[in-house]
């Protein structure tokens, strides 16, 4: 059973859903005036980790919006992201003149997101902002401005709620720290 591999639960399903309701309510308030003017909102996530967060968040934003996805691969030595990113799947929508909200799973080094922000801003969105489910306390971290952060967490390898270890544990409804023996096995 997946649950037996978890050493410590950091955020329960209830805490996560509560926090997402708060962020969704805040975004609804922030973007309501421009939605009322007929301006378009695009909620964008990077596959695969952020998909679960994005889908829950989308249902807490009570405004018309489009949902779109990108997939990227990060080159480097495998463990750490290098900041050299290639786009495997691009958005399907034209972002020109739209208000883009990136829903991210976790901000670690921030290198992937730095690249994406640069890339996306070249498509002339009306605005571009980041909402991240988790932000790790690490040094160094790219200086990325987040409109909302779900939780700030310590620098440990965590899984669940979209986050994986070797493609497992994404479907846990909570976030936790894996038992060390799972890595060494
Ligand atoms: P960054 O470019 O270092 O910020 O990489 C961020 C990406 O690395 C996230 O979108 C996750 O896919 C992955 N990642 C970073 N930390 C963790 C973790 O603790 N567990 C699972 N995935 C992680
Ligand atoms: Mg990711």
Q: Is the pLDDT of residue 82 over 90?
A: no
What is the distance between the alpha carbons of residues 126 and 23, in angstroms, rounded to a whole number? 21
Kindly state if the Cβ of 132 falls inside 6 Å of ligand 1.
no
Kindly state if the Cβ of 102 falls inside 6 Å of ligand 1.
no
Q: Is the pLDDT of residue 79 over 60?
A: no
Are the beta carbons of 2 and 172 closer than 8 angstroms? yes
- Options 90, 105, 108, 164, the catalytic residue: 108
Specify whether 108 is catalytic: yes
Are the beta carbons of 144 and 114 closer than 8 angstroms? yes
Q: How confident is the model at residue 73 (pLDDT cuts 50, 70, 90)?
A: confident
pLDDT for position 75: 65
Which residues partner with 47 through β-bridges? Answer: 71
Kindly state if the Cβ of 105 falls inside 6 Å of ligand 1.
yes
Quote the percentage of the chain above a pLDDT of 70. 95
Order of strands across the sheet with 6-11?
Answer: 6-11, 175-178, 158-159
What is the distance between the alpha carbons of residues 157 and 164, in angstroms, rounded to a whole number? 10
Task: Convert the pLDDT of each residue in 114-169 to its tens digit.
Answer: 999 999 999 999 999 999 999 999 999 999 999 999 999 999 999 999 999 999 99
Sign of CA dihedral 76, 174, 152, 64: positive
Average pLDDT, the chain: 93
Q: Is the pLDDT of residue 173 over 90?
A: yes
Task: Convert the pLDDT of each residue in 4-63 to its tens digit.
Answer: 999 999 999 999 999 999 999 999 999 999 999 999 999 999 999 999 999 999 999 999
The tokens for 150 are: 């779900």
């Amino acid at each position: 059973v997946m649950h037996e591999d978890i050493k410590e639960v950091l955020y329960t399903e209830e805490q996560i859903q509560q926090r997402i309701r708060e962020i969704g309510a805040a975004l609804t308030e922030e973007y309501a005036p421009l939605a009322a003017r007929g301006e378009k909102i695009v909620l964008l996530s990077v596959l695969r980790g952020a998909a679960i967060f994005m889908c829950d968040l989308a249902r807490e934003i009570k405004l018309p919006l489009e949902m779109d996805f990108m997939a990227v691969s990060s080159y480097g030595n495998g463990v750490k992201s290098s900041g050299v990113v290639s786009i495997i799947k691009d958005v399907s929508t034209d972002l020109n003149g739209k208000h883009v909200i990136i829903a991210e799973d976790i901000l670690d080094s921030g290198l992937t997101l730095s690249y994406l922000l640069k890339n996306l801003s070249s498509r002339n969105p009306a605005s571009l902002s980041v909402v991240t489910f988790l932000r790790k306390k690490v040094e160094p971290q790219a200086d990325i401005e987040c409109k909302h952060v779900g939780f700030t967490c310590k620098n440990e390898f965590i899984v669940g709620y979209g986050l994986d270890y070797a493609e497992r544990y994404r479907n846990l409804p909570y976030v936790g720290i894996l038992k060390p023996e799972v890595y060494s096995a």
